[in-house]
Every structure is written in structure tokens, then in C-alpha cells.
Amino acid sequence: MRPEILYPFFADTISLPGVGGRIATLLEKIIGRRVLDLFWHFPVDIIDRRNSPLLADIKYDQIVTLQVTVDQHDAAPRGSKRPYRVWCHDDTGKLQLIFFHGRGDYILRQLPEGEVRLISGKVEVFNGQHQMNHPDYILLPEKRDEMPGVEPIYPLTAGISGKVMAKIVRGAIERLVVLPEWQDKTLIDRESWPTWFEAMNQVHQPTGPDDLLLNSPARQRLAYDEFLASQLALEIMRRQSRKK
């Protein structure tokens, strides 16, 4: 029988916040139907939002987090294919925020003229002018903690965006519990491996590119666990077949 402590791991993904029937079906196509399956859906890249330069210090296309003052909205005429532009500035320069097919009323609420906002996204330099297309985050400065400094990027499927996938995986990881160690302590100490609980959290909360490497301690630990589990399962099957 399965230990009760593991019941949340084997629950249907539809039990997670933000997962309805449609999303659960899409997840099943690429991952599986259990919360446990999301544990093993590892990030393949990261977005580092910790860089917060002044506008004058941005020399090339890069993802940054900026604190700017909103100056003016240039709404595109009705029926026009021109983008909606919002002009902002910091102490060193100006920045255009570009929105294609944006709703003016929503953008005005997000970026009121004369107020300070924290924005994050890719800043490009076009014709000598800094611009950011569709900021990934627009927040009040005091709500900076709501934006991850390092954001994991997960494999996706049609119908699920990167932000939605990250939110779903976070919901699954919140169900992790500390389990008794099943690996040999000598092996753990020799390899300097984290516990299973620590390894899962580290894999899904990378702090830099090195955490994505296959030979990182956390990924090594989890890979060894998976290999050992498969070998034990095969041995159990062999012993059962011998009894018949």
C-alpha cells in the first residue's frame, strides 16, 4: 500500500490551482496526469531579471528590470495598425513601451501618467531610442517581491503559456514534503548531494545557468534516484516471475 504521506503526489493535476479540465488534458499530453509528473518537468532555461541598470547604461538588447516614471500615452487612432506607445523616463534617459493590439483603458490603469512603476522585459535600442515591447511585468515599486529575480523556463505545449506553466509547477512543488532519506549516507556525503526535498526545490528554483547543468548536484541526485528506482522495479519483477 502507498504511504499516506505520498497521497498528494499522486493526485490529479486538476487539483492544482489554475488547472481546469482543458489545461489538465494539455498537461497530460506532454507530462502526465499526476502532480508527481510535474516534479520531473524540469526547466530548460532561465530569465534573469536581477539586472537593474540605468537607461543610459543599456548598450545592447537585454532583459532588465527598471524603475521608471510614466510621462505620456500616445494612443493609436481607432482602426490604425500603429502600436500604442507609452513614454517613460528615469534620471538618465527616455524609454518607449510598445503595445501591439493593446487595450488603451487597461494600459492606462497599469501605467498612470506621472506615477512610478517597476517594469521588466527586453529593452532594445532602435534608431537610438530605448524601447520595450509588451513588458513581462508592470508592478508598483513596493511589490517587487511579486516578480521572480530568476524565472525558470519550462518546455511548453500549445495552449499553455510560459507564465501559466511556471505557476502550475510552483503549485505542484508546494506539495513537496520532507521524506526519510533512502540513499546511503556514505554516498550522499561523498557526492555532496542534497536531500531529495532540497534537490527538487533547487532544480525548480535555479539561481543561475549552472543549476541547469546535468551534472549539477541536485540533478545528479535526482537522476541517480530515478535510475536506482528503475533497477529496483526490474529486480522486483524478476523475483515475482521466478515464483510463478
Q: What is the pLDDT of residues 15-68, one digit of tens each?
A: 999 999 999 999 999 999 999 999 999 999 999 999 999 999 987 888 999 999
In the predicted structure, residue 243 carries a pLDDT above the cut 90: no
Q: How does the average pLDDT of the chain come out, rounded?
A: 92
Query: Amino acid letter at 85?
Result: R
Q: How far apart are CA 35 and CA 168, in angstroms?
A: 10
Closest CA to 222 of 198, 187, 189: 198
Band (pLDDT 50/70/90 cuts) for residue 90 is very high
Band (pLDDT 50/70/90 cuts) for residue 117 is very high
pLDDT of residue 236: 86
Q: Which three cell numbers stand for residue 231?
A: 533497477
In the predicted structure, residue 153 carries a pLDDT above the cut 90: yes
- Domains for the chain: give ranges and CATH numbers: 4-43+156-243 (no CATH), 50-146 (2.40.50.140)
pTM: 0.83
| Core vs surface per residue 1-18: b (16+ CB within 10 A) or e | eeeeeeeebeeebbebee
Express as a percent the part of the chain with pLDDT over 70.
99
Q: What is the pLDDT of residues 203-236, one digit of tens each?
A: 999 999 999 999 999 999 999 999 998 998 898 8
Mean pLDDT, to the nearest integer, of 60-77? 90
Bridge-based pairing state of the strands 93-99 and 129-133: parallel
In the predicted structure, residue 78 carries a pLDDT above the cut 80: no
pLDDT of residue 244: 66
